[in-house]
Amino acid sequence: MTELGNKTYLIPGAASGMGRAIALMLAAEGANLAIADVDSDNLAATENELAEKGAQVVASVCDITQEDQVAALFDVAKQRFGKVDVLLNVPGLSIVGPIAEMSADAYDKVIDVNVKGTFLCSKHFLQQVDGATGGVVVNFASMAAKRANPNAPVYCTAKAAVAMFSQGFALQAKEKNVRVTTLCPGPTNTNFWGDRPVPREKFLAVDDVVAAIRFVLSLPEYVVVHEISFESFEFFKK
């Protein structure tokens, strides 16, 4: 058991990619894990992998854009572990293409997953948190929140909204001793990109982002990290 153990972490988006990697890191630290995703098959595989490593884990199929499902997700976590100490808002979605050709439904989906999902999970975390012991929320924005991309302007808009929401949420959450960090990684080599022709060799590795998360979570409770922005130097130089 390390300093990250003996706590309960709720991780939406844990079926694969970044969320799965973070869950595996926390499992090695002896943490309790409540994981969720819309991808039921990969979620079950991640749950089994974590359990095989000795983690205490509960998994819930959850669409974070639906408030009743988010409320149920927190209920399951509380029933299993008593409370949630740390929320890691990992999920992200991008639909690329020219604005003139993008449907309103595609726009809504990107905004809902990135912004509404972060809002709903943050809301229900704050409702259940014990103000005496506080907690931590890490919201995943992106360097896309700071730097426009002609291929994904709606994603950039969504992540910029996440970053500003996170700042405002932090001002309210501090009243319950909750520290909020906004994480803004640059492009990272995960399944997020699908088959798009992107220069993965210049991207961050998943372990780089996991290390940043571990840094934030390992700090003493009197330290708050407002934001971390980082990217691969090779990508920055291009």
Torsion-angle region of residue 39: left (phi > 0), alpha (psi -120 to 50) or beta?
beta
- Measured in degrees and rounded to the nearest 5, phi and psi for residue 230 equal -160, 155
Catalytic residue among 9, 107, 155, 222: 155
Distance of CA 23 to the CA centre of its chain: 11
Find the DSSP H helices in 82-145.
Answer: 104-111, 117-128
Q: What is the dihedral of CA 138, 141, 143, 148, to 10 degrees?
A: -170
CB atoms within 10 A of CB 85: 21
Q: Is 155 a catalytic residue?
A: yes
Residues acting as catalytic residues: 155
